[in-house]
Amino acid sequence: MAIFHGISLSDLIKQYSMDQLEDEYDARVLEQAYQAWLKDDKQTVSMQDVLADFDKPAEDE
């Protein structure tokens, strides 16, 4: 299989493992966001409001 991709076997294994980790991370983040959305009575935020948050100066912590 590594030959078909033109990479070494170790690189193929590393890439496959990273893809698996990325997929697992994405699934967990999705589930957390979904649960937060349900807890918030399925409230949404408009894209305009999200973009406006990026224009605000950072607050001091």
Tell me the two tokens of residue 43: 């409230």
Distance CA 12, CA 14 (A): 5
Task: Check residue 5 and give its pLDDT.
Answer: 79
The model scores a pTM over 0.75: no
- 56 phi-psi bin (left φ>0, alpha ψ -120 to 50, beta other): beta
Q: Could you read off the pLDDT tens digit of each residue along the chain, which spans 61 residues?
A: 778 878 898 998 888 888 888 898 999 999 999 999 999 999 999 999 999 999 877 666 5
